[in-house]
Structure formats: C-alpha cells, structure tokens
Structure 1
Amino acid sequence: MEKEAPRILIVDDDLDFASLLTDVFSQASYDVEMTGEPTKVEELVRSMDFSLVVTDLRMPGLNGFELAKKIKAIKTELPIIMVSGFLESKDREKMESEGIVGLYEKPLSVFSLLKNAAKLIAEGKSKTKKASSETVEKPGDANDLGFPFKALPCQSDASHAFAESIYRMRNRRQNLCIVTPRGTPTRAIAEDFFSWLNPETADSRIIEPNDFSLELLEQIAREAGEKKLESFVISIPETERLDPGQQKQLARGSRKGTFSDHWEGHFRFIFMIGSDVETLYQEGVLSDELYLSMGGSELHVPLLSDCPDDIEAAARAAETEDGDSLSWDADAINLLRGRDWPGNFTELRKVLFRLQQNYSGRPLSARDVLEAMNEDESAVSPKARSENISLFETLDACRSSYLLALSDLVDGDTAVIASIAEVPQEFVEKVLSN
C-alpha cells in the first residue's frame, strides 16, 4: 500500500501566486492546502498534520514572522519556508533568529524550492522518529542491499547509497530525475527500477529521445487503460536531447488528466539527464514547461572514480570466454582503482574486454592494464584524438567484427553491446542481423 503523501500548507494573500505554488507542489505529488488568510493558519495547523508550511513574508494583518511564531507555538518542529517579492538584510537576520529554515525571493527557482522542501520534510520525519525512540537503528556494515540491483556492483559506499536512495523512490508518484555522468549504465538502472514495480498494477518502458511523442504516450495510456493498470513508469535516457516541441509534449503528457479519456491511472517519468536540472534550465536546455513538470527529486549516479571497490569488484568478476576468472596481481588492481575513469563504466568495460581478449592465463600485471588503457590512443590518428572521437567511431572496418565478438561475450544483449561500443542499439541490431 502506498504511503500517504506529505501535506504542505501554502499561505499567501496573493491567490494567483498561491495557486501557482499549489500546482507546483501538487505536480510533485504532495497533498496541498492553500489559504489566503493568515489568521486561519492556527486553526489549520491544529486540525491537520502538515509536513511543511510555505508562507509569504509580507501579508496584511499578520506578516510571515508573526505567523511563524504562532505556528512554532503549536508545532515546534514544523519547518517553515518564506517567500517574498523583495528582501532586506534584516529579514535574513530575523529569519535565523526565528527558526525559519528557508527564505526565497520572487521570482524563485521552483526546482530549488522543491529540493529544499523535500530535504526539510525528510529531516522533519527523522526528528520525529528520533524523538519517539531513544535508539536509532544503525545500518549494518555489510554491502548486501536486500533487494535486486544489477546495474552497479554497489561495493563502495557511494554506489551503495545511490542504490538505497533510488530503491526508496520506487513507490512514489512524483517524477524522478537521475543525473547520469557519461558512461553510466542508464538503461540497466532503469531496468532495475522497473523490476521493483508490482506487475499487477504497473508497467514500464524505456523511450529513447528520438522515439518520443505525445502520440506514443497516448498509445501507451490506451494500452494501460485496457490492462486496468494504476501506473506506468517511463524512463527517458538523455532527456535533455528532446527538442523544444518534444519537451512541450512531454510536459503536457505528464499533467494529471491529459489522458483521462483512455485511462484513470497516472504516468511517472524517470528523467535521465547529464547534468543537474537547475544547470540545464539556466543554460536554456530545458523549457519552462518541462522544468516545472520534472518534480523535486534528484539523484546523482556516483562517478566510477568515487567507487574504487566497485572497480575492483568488476575486475575480479571478469571472465574469459571459457568462463575462467582472470587472475590479477596487486599492482594491476591498484592501478585500476586509482584511475580517474572519465568514461566511467563504459570505459572500464572496454579496458576489461581488451584484457579478456588478450588473457594468457598468467596474473595480469600493471603493464597489461596500462596497455589496455592506452589502446585507444595508440590505435587512433592524432586528428581523431584531438576531436575526442572514440576508437569505435573511427575504425569502421573493424566495427562489425568487434560487435560480433561482443555479442558472443554478453549473450547477444544488444543494449549492453551498444553501451560498451558507444553506438546506437539500432546499429547493433542491424549488424547482428546481417
């Protein structure tokens, strides 16, 4: 059973702005109460269980600071965020003394507001649990997750924490943004997420940017309605590649009720993006409509360089074509663990693949690893290197043979082959079918 959504109270005498905030938080799957009369807030706080209050600073009859005092007198731990059309230095000083946890100036950053709100609500829940119990359960030191997650080895603290964070998001309604550095196994992460859904009530699909359209969403909604599904989760790798028209369609498709003629359930989107939402929006990559519909939850896949234990785990799991494990000396493992890996898992897989292909049976040395790491640079022309073109984009004559060899190694999984070789999956399927 899905947990009850946190409830937020919006207080602003400017009803248009209050309605805007209500829409923003509702899109992020919060329950929202709105009032334009600050004098009614005390009664609301006493009668309803709120996780956060967002209030205007300057209102007739009762300003934000006065209102905050009344709220704190009723519920000390209830976090309060204030917004205002203009701020003075004394406002910020008073905010700290009055225990106000956030102060935003209009026009405000919606995504920043949502992120801060989610953080404050989570902190509020933590304080409540701590107050009700003298002992806090401490997670075990073992790396066993307790749930299936194959995309990352999760032997390092950073990857382990990411896996736990995304798992906690599995049953929520709000959209989710996942920042995926270059070389991240984005599709594998999406497939792991999909595996946690209840197949009786939900379905899922990965939609590539080139394939996305409002018509496709409508088709999926019709099929979901026929199956009587409650939800449908869609992951879009490299969401920032959507053109302005597609972004507008996606924003429309994510609105509640867009497909109500065909389906009573809801879409949930997982936006895989190369940088954080705020940066992409400020750079003009994301449209206003899509920005507002992306939700307030953002997770970051850790860089491989921050996960040295994952690097070692992947290396020790590597096998020859006959299924024999590779043998490593300590210097070789240390060299792998200490590399920056700008291409992350894709780059690591390339290096491991070369080592597998050339494995003679003796323990792999640091020299073997260095040669595998430097193969791109020795095989590609200076011009190609200066343009940062990969080996797989320049050696067209060898590409088909390489893809066929990869197919044998990964049992024909075209998605994995495409990820390792950094080519479109459609190209892989075409080569393997010939």
Structure 2
Amino acid sequence: MSDKKDVKPQLLLVDDDQSLLRLLTIRLEGEGYQVTAVEDGQAALKKINNESFDVVLSDLRMPGLDGLSLFEEIMGVRKDIPVILMTAHGTISDAVAATQRGVFGFLTKPVDHEELRSLLQKALSQSVAAQPGEWAKEIITRSPEMLNVLDQAYRIAQREVSVLISGASGTGKELLANAIHQASNRRDKPFVAINCGALPENLLESELFGHAKGAFTGAVQANGGLFREADGGTLFLDEIGDMPMTLQVKLLRALQERQIRPVGSSKHVDIDVRIISATHKDLHKEMEEGSFREDLYYRLNVVNLKLPALKERSEDIPLLARSLLRQSAQRHQVSVSQFSDDAMQLLVKSDWPGNVRQLVNVVEQCVALTQTPVVPLHLVEQALSATRQSWPTLTEARDAFEQKYLFKLLKMTDGNVTRAAELAGRNRTDMHKLMKKHELDASDFRS
C-alpha cells in the first residue's frame, strides 16, 4: 500500500523537448506535484522500476521508445498507474488508438493548462481511490488483483462472518487476517494467531481451549487458552488444513455452541470471537480424502479470499523491494538506499516460489552483504540462488519427518498396520489416513 497521506503526488514527466520539460515542471510543481522529469522513454522506464509514481505524463512522439510503447512497457510492471499522453501532432485516430489501449487521457500541444489540471486530478483521484486505508497500512500493493482482494476484505470485515483465506505459503495470509480485524468493529479487542500445524494434537487442544490445573502432567496451573485470550476480538487459525480430525470435531462444536470446555474441566465457558482461518492446502481434496470435515469447512468458509502469488502481482515487486530495503537498512543501521537497475529488473522477472517471504529473505541477505549504497546485480543473483534452497517451513519439515517416520515404522513391522499403529500410539484408522496422505502402501513393506 502506498503511504501518500500528506505527501505531494508523485508525477513522472517525459518529453524530449527540454524547454517544454522545464516549463511544465515549473507549472506542475506550482500545482503541488512532486515532478521527476526525464527526456526519453528508456530513462522513464528506469525511474518506474525504482521509484513509485501516482501518474505519468508523456509525449507521444519521441525518438526511440515513443509514448505508446512506453505505456505498454509501464503496463508490464505497473498495470494500475494512469498514463496521460501529449502530442503536437494530435489526431482523432491517435486519441482513439491510445484510449482503446488503456491510456488514461490524451492532450494536444500546446497544452491547455486547465484541461491538463482537470485530467491530472481525475487520474490522481483514480490512483488514490485504488489505495486501501489505515486498516491495511502493512500491506504494500498497487496490483489491481490484490486491491480487489482488499476491497472484498474491507466489505466483509464489517460483517460478523467467518473468513477462509487461501493461498500459497508466504503470500501474507496472516497480514490479511490482521487487516480484516483492524477494519472490523472488533479492532479494539485482541487479534490472536496460532499455526495449527506447528503443535501436536494434545498441545494444540490445550492452547486453543485452555486446561484446568492438573489436567495432565506438567499442568501446574490453569491456562485460559487462546479462545479466551481473543475474547471480543479475532482468532486466526493458520494452516487449518493441518488440524487433526478429533480436534476438528471439538472446534466445530465450539463454533456451533459458542462455548468451549477446557481440557480436564467439566465447566463450559462462553466465547465471543470471530474466526479467520487460512490454508495453503486444497481443502476440497482434503475433504474427499477424509482428512478434513465437510461440516467444519462450510462453517469456516462463509467467505473465501484467495491471495495471489507474488509472481502474479509483479507490479508490486519494486514497491515491496524498496520498502523492505528501507526497513532492513534502518534495522541494521547501514547506508544502503536502492537496487541497481539491472538488480531490480531481475527481482521483477524472478518466479518467487517462496512468494513475499522469499523476497524478505533476499532483501535481508542483500543488505547484510552489500558494501555500497546501491545493491548490485550479483548480490541479488546470489541471494536468489540461496533462497531457492531455503529452510523449510515448520509444516514442511513436519511432513517430511512424518513420512520418514512412517516408512521406517512400516519397514520394522513388515507392513503390519495394526502393529505399526500400536508402536506409534495411534489407532488403525489414523494410521491408514497417514499412510494415504504420504502415499505409502503396506503391501510394499511385506517380506
């Protein structure tokens, strides 16, 4: 999200006529714009890749990259930025062709100042209107797709409905959940988050519902649990697809009855929380395989919001990279201010399988290693290579361990599922589900 409040609108002015460039710069700065003036399309593209602008005002006929070609290039990285074209050779056909291709406006030279002022104000109002408010200040975006998600999020935040956020790991699901909380009537109450895949079943149950003193070994005092900690506010259940089936039943009952019963207690406690859940899994597939309850799915998925992968919002990469660079430089107290042009181009063109989380790691590595104010290309290449073999998430590590554990267990028991379940401390049904999850067949282990 752009933090434009109380800041001059940023305008990129492009024209190969130096005298007109100076004249328009003076006029527009007098109108309250922060003007960056360049003399050709290639210079404009470099600025677009490294800085944030609210509107572009460009000449149509220029040597090299003309105005329409510049517009097409801008749309490749910043689809939502309004572009206005000017020409001394204006014809109706030029204007029609430009507007049909998505150009915001078209002006003929000599430029009528009142017409220019009006068109710029309209373009600026479109750019500002697209930006979410204070409630989503942590989310940096100009992507139309992401802005559409935020628009939906704001509208549903006003209603007391459960929300399921889906999207790949690292796309910012918790950030969006917190933004929804901040936009809701519960914003003054707690926002509490837990990763359902990070804890074993008994600990997860205790964390969610609390426990009585002496409920189990080590329970030397009572614990209220996260439902009560989030009372009046929002409880965010991340990676809900990893929640064990037995706990899914208890969660469903709690949501239906709006009550919880702490572990080891006979008393029920009333709860008042809004549930936002998230997953990177395909829950429809999980339901078909019997590892996720259908009734719980429909209870949680009243509204579904899908976060796009970072490669699907490439226009946000320069904004995110610059913001992360600024934050990291401040945190580490180093003087690094920007990426080189070729380094930024590599960031924009990369696939980002780890999404925003991977971008954070890349920027952190660059800041840690750079010895100049400008991050060079080779450091970005090095950081990208390192993060492609990045440390697994806790869920990924747990799944890998689980598969290896089951393989050894079935090998030890010669594929005897009953014996393997006993050794694992699980029942046969659970064992079969785990084997199915990891595509293991008992017959493959029999002598």
TM-score of the two chains, using structure 2 as the length reference:
0.47
Structure showing greater Rg: 2
